[in-house]
Structure 1
Amino acid sequence: MRDGTRFGEVADVYEDARPAYAPGLAEAIAGYHGSTPGDVLEIGAGTGKGTAVLHALGGRLTCVEPDPRMAALLAARFPAAAVVVAPFEEAGAGPADVVGCALAWHWLDPERRNRLAFDALRPGGTLAVFGHRYDYADPAHRRAFDEAFASVDQTPAVVRDDAWVHRDVLGSGLWADVRADATSRTLPLDAAAYLRLVRTFGPFRTKTPHAQERTLDVLARTLDALGGGTVLDLRGFLVLARKPANRAGVAPRADN
């Protein structure tokens, strides 16, 4: 898990500022899996935003999180869960009936993430990768914030389209019955809440303290010009896949 500990400095902010996942995710995963799982394994659990979804499945929960500061908050929130403080690539966790990953799939080694998740599952087990992409409900706000970020950092942003996880899982050739679903919901934020959220984003965490201050200052002025807040469009995704019961992998097939 690359740079898996960059968020620990703002673990408390992360827990407070990051929005919860959309209602209905646990029900969708449970419906696909078909029964109550005995063991659930979470990759890159952070402070537990995705853990809340996976906990609702009802199985014994093991959470893998590389940052000890994030893991401490996670353990306090979910005392019944077993918390493994290690990168997923080194954890050796499993076997599980469900392997879940919320907004951490891109942090995993792209050459190994599907195979590692596949090997952590029992035959017939379910992979559930879910999360949301942050966009702006108003295109004028999107342009204003794009200009604000670019004014302090000319480095091109890494932009992943909404379907990249689905393509990644499907393209591995390991999984059966690969399905994808998408949602969209709005999240109004005042200036303070927006700035706290930005402090938890990976690209922001890589900046020097001086560059972070400059970024927050420019964003604060942008928010003021936009009326003191903005409305985000949380573009949610859920990718589900099954480990074949008696095979090491299958040719990929998309259901939707």
Structure 2
Amino acid sequence: MPTLPREQPGQSGTESHEARQMAESFGVDPQRYDQARPGYPDALMERIVAGSPGPEVLDVGTGTGIAARQLQAAGCTVLGVEPDARMAELARARGLPVEVATFEAWQPAGRTFDAVTAAQAWHWVDPVAGAVKAAQVLRPGGRLAIFGHVYEPPAEVAEPFATAFRRAVPESPFNNRPTESPLAMYQAGYAKFADAIRETELFGEPEQWRFDWELAYTRDQWLALLPTTGGLTRLPRDTTAEILDAVGAAIDSMGGGFTMGYTTLATSALRSGTSASG
């Protein structure tokens, strides 16, 4: 079934130039991103908090702070690391301390944490180098938690989107993506994250978590979210408008809204009890 261009996971090792362009494109409109992107299941946040030895969290690729604010609300003290200064500025305005850097280049300056989290962001980090660095800043027994959403709109929304996208951007590489089930593809990506964690030999056995939930969208809500997704963030405004008009008409024909089924996947592991060498 046609669906949205994939944003994550499963980028290999060092990111390609094309992928890095996409990574840097999400800050084009951080306000829209922050308002339109969904949060994370409370059960996931509760599991991270309950399964960590303390409340101090480092949130990697924090973006505008969507997950970080949920962790703050759950009683955590959170520091964000974010490579895009535009996203970081909005996160700071919402009360989150953020340091601007890629995780690989970020300097911990001796600081350690009870948990390292990454929401919709770990695929932009070298998976092995990132896991090693996470181990270096985690206290013994600290938790690494990598998580993100899988979603596929109903065919009545996805197919008009795919048709309009192919017409408006025929040269896009997103038009040639495999038709594999999004859930199966993302589960394979999270299994690769687990393999990279094992490779470090600095963590206990990784766990795979899954949370299924639903979210109702109005026409306006869905059209606000679409421009924040990877295939549209770098398109000219008139091209985006053409695609949104087609999707909006499709949602109008459905009565003005639809319900999206979400699955949130997580790979999580506990830091082994000895200190990491640096």
Tell me whether the two structures share a fold, i.e. TM-score over 0.5: yes
Instruction: Name the residue aligned to 1:253.
Output: none
In structure 2, what is the equivalent of residue 168 of structure 1?
192
Aligned to 1:31: 50
1:219 corresponds to: 247
Which residue does 1:69 correspond to in 2? 86
Shift of 1:92: 1.9
By relative contact order (CA 8 Å, sep 6+), the higher-ranking structure is 2
- Does the 8 A contact of 1:162 with 1:235 survive in 2? no
Whether 1:149 and 2:165 are equivalent positions in the alignment is yes
Amino acid at match of 2:102: P
1:59 CA displacement:
4.1
* AA aligned opposite 1:25: L
Q: Structure 1 residue 12: deviation in Å?
A: 0.9
- Distance (whole Å) between structure 1 residues aligned to residue 82 and residue 251 of structure 2: 34
Is 1:114 the counterpart of 2:150 in the alignment? no
1:129–1:240 contact (8 Å) kept in structure 2: yes
Match of 2:37 among 4, 7, 18: 18
Q: Give the C-alpha shift of residue 181 in structure 1.
A: 1.4
Paired residue for 1:46? Answer: 63
Q: 1:92 to 1:104 in 2, by over 3 A?
A: same
Work out whether 1:132 is the aligned partner of 2:156.
no
Check conservation: 2:140, 2:273, Cα contact below 8 A.
yes
Q: What is the rounded CA distance, in whole Å, between the counterparts of 1:156 and 1:187 in structure 2?
A: 29
Q: Is the 8 A contact 1:185 1:235 kept in 2?
A: yes
- SS of 2:213's partner is strand
Query: Does residue 210 of structure 1 match 2:238?
Result: yes
**Cα 1:119/1:164, change in 2 over 3 Å:** farther
Amino acid of the residue matched to residue 185 of structure 1?
W
Deviation larger for 45-54 or 98-107: 45-54
The match for 1:254 is none
Quote how far apart the aligned CAs of 1:140 are: 4.3
Determine if contact 2:161/2:246 at 8 Å carries over to the other structure.
no
Judging changes above 3 Å, is the alpha-carbon distance between structure 1 residues 57 and 92 closer, same or farther for their aligned structure 2 residues? farther
Q: CA distance change for structure 1 residues 55 and 165 in 2, over 3 Å: closer, same or farther? A: farther
- Residue 135 of structure 1 deviates from its aligned partner by 1.5
Partner residue, 1:86: 101
Q: What is the alpha-carbon distance in structure 2 between the residues aligned to residue 217 and residue 139 of structure 1?
A: 17
CA contact (8 A) 2:147 2:267 kept: yes
Whether the 8 Å contact between 2:127 and 2:193 is mirrored in structure 1 is no
Normalising by structure 2, report the TM-score: 0.77
Normalised to the residue count of structure 1, the TM-score between the two structures is 0.83
Secondary structure, in 3 states, of the residue corresponding to 2:24? Answer: coil
Q: Which of the residues 105, 108, 112 maps onto 1:95?
A: 112
Moved more, 16-25 or 156-165: 156-165
SS in 1 for 2:264: strand
Change (3 A) 1:162 1:6: same
Cα deviation, residue 110, structure 1? 4.3
One-letter code aligned to 2:206: V
Residue 179 of structure 1: how far off its partner (Å): 0.9
Residue type matched to 1:11 in 2? P
Q: Which stretch has the larger CA shift, 142-151 or 17-26? A: 142-151
